[in-house]
Amino acid sequence: MIKSKNILGLIPARYGSTRFPGKPLADIGGKPMIQRVYEQAVRELDFVYVATDDERIEAAVKAFGGKVVMTSTEHQSGTDRCAEALTKVVDIEGMPFYAVINIQGDEPFISPSQIKAVASCFEDENTQLATLVKPIKKTEDLFNPNKPKVVVGAENNAMYFSRSPIPFLRGEDESKWHLKHKYFNHIGLYAYRSDVLLKITKLPIGQLEKAESLEQLRWLENGYSIRVEETNEQAFAIDTPEDLKELLESGVI
Rounded to whole angstroms, the maximal C-alpha distance in the chain is: 59
Cα–Cα distances (Å) from 223 to 13, 90, 160, 179, 203, in that order, read: 29, 27, 12, 32, 11
Pairing of strands 99-102, 7-13: parallel
Is residue 222 in some structural domain? yes
Is residue 84 in some structural domain? yes
Is residue 191 in some structural domain? yes
Is residue 103 in some structural domain? yes
Is residue 217 in some structural domain? yes
Pairing of strands 68-70, 47-52: parallel
The total number of structural domains in the chain stands at: 1
pLDDT (tens place) for every residue of the chain, 253 residues total: 454 469 999 999 999 877 788 999 999 989 999 999 999 999 999 999 999 999 999 999 999 999 999 999 999 899 999 999 999 999 999 999 999 999 999 899 999 999 999 999 999 999 999 999 999 999 999 999 989 999 999 999 999 999 999 999 999 999 999 999 999 999 989 999 999 999 999 999 999 999 999 999 999 999 999 999 999 987 777 888 888 888 787 766 6
Among 149, 106, 143, which Cα is nearest to 237's? 106
The domain of 35 spans: 7-131+187-227+238-249
Q: Tell me, what CATH number does 39's domain have? A: 3.90.550.10
Is residue 100 in some structural domain? yes
Is residue 171 in some structural domain? no
Identify the three-state secondary structure at position 186.
strand
Alpha-carbon distance of 19 to 109, in angstroms, equals 20
Is residue 232 in some structural domain? no
> What does 13-32 look like in DSSP terms, one character per residue?
E-S--SSSTTGGG-EETTEE
pTM (two decimals): 0.93
